[in-house]
């Protein structure tokens, strides 16, 4: 039995009131949804809340899932994306305030607040460099527009097919490709600038 068929069976059982099947779904998808939320919102705390909201919404609307319309993962991603967009709109004002308060030094830009606070002990060079690079990319991703960001997350971090992304984002396939291209190029430019500043 293929994975999609197994998932559909589990979903059917969960819709029928089988709590074990619901638990199975939560175990299967919590990591993936959390990662999407984390990369989009940029905060672990927000990602935690958003993931819970996604599952609450899933639980309430699970019976509305139609197997004929597409894969369960695409349906879950659509729910997640809609909630992320809502969250983005709600927190727009907060972000403006944060960006005004934020420091502009390149060192601060390249490190997260937790890294700055920890000011970790003597880490091996490679490990520290990788950590800094990961933080740079994560922060760079937050500077992209939400349209480009969501397309990049789904494609390059979640390995979704561009057709599935088009369904999840409800935009034409060409638009998805274009957003991904622009997003990648813009991120690379941002990171190259930051990287030069750090060095």
The residues that touch other proteins, with contacts defined as CB under 8 A, are: 19, 22-23, 26-27, 30-31, 34-35, 38-39, 44, 47-48, 51-52, 55-56, 59, 133-134, 137-138, 140-141, 152, 156-157, 162, 174, 177-178, 180-181, 183-189, 191-192
Question: Closest distance between other proteins and the C-beta of residue 33, in Å?
Answer: 9
Question: What stretches of the chain adopt beta strand conformation (E)?
Answer: none
For other proteins, the closer of residues 39 and 81 by Cβ is 39
Question: Closest distance between other proteins and the C-beta of residue 111, in Å?
Answer: 16
> Is there a contact between 168 and 81 (Cβ–Cβ < 8 Å)?
yes
Instruction: Tell me how far apart the alpha carbons of residues 89 and 82 are, in angstroms, rounded to a whole number.
Output: 11
Question: Closest distance between other proteins and the C-beta of residue 42, in Å?
Answer: 11
> Is there a contact between 137 and 149 (Cβ–Cβ < 8 Å)?
no
Question: Closest distance between other proteins and the C-beta of residue 26, in Å?
Answer: 5
- The percent helix, strand, coil of the chain (3-state, each to 5) is 85, 0, 15
Residue with tokens 């944060």: 98
């Amino acid at each position: 039995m293929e994975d999609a068929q197994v998932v559909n069976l589990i979903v059917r059982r969960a819709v029928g009131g089988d709590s074990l099947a619901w638990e199975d779904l939560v175990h299967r998808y919590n990591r993936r949804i959390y990662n999407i939320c984390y990369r989009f919102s940029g905060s672990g705390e927000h990602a935690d809340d958003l993931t819970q909201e996604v599952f609450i919404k899933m639980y309430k609307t699970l019976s509305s899932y139609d197997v004929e319309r597409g894969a369960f993962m695409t349906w879950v991603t659509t729910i997640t994306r809609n909630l992320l967009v809502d969250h983005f709109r709600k927190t727009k004002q907060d972000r403006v305030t944060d960006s005004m308060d934020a420091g502009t030094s390149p060192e601060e830009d390249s490190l997260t607040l937790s890294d700055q606070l920890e000011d970790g002990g003597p880490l091996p060079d490679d490990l520290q460099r990788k950590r800094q690079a990961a933080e740079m990319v994560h922060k760079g991703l937050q500077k992209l527009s939400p349209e480009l960001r969501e397309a990049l997350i789904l494609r390059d971090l979640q390995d979704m097919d561009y057709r599935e992304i088009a369904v999840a984002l409800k935009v034409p396939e060409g638009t998805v490709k274009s957003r991904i291209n622009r997003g990648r190029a813009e991120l690379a430019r941002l990171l190259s600038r930051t990287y030069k500043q750090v060095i």
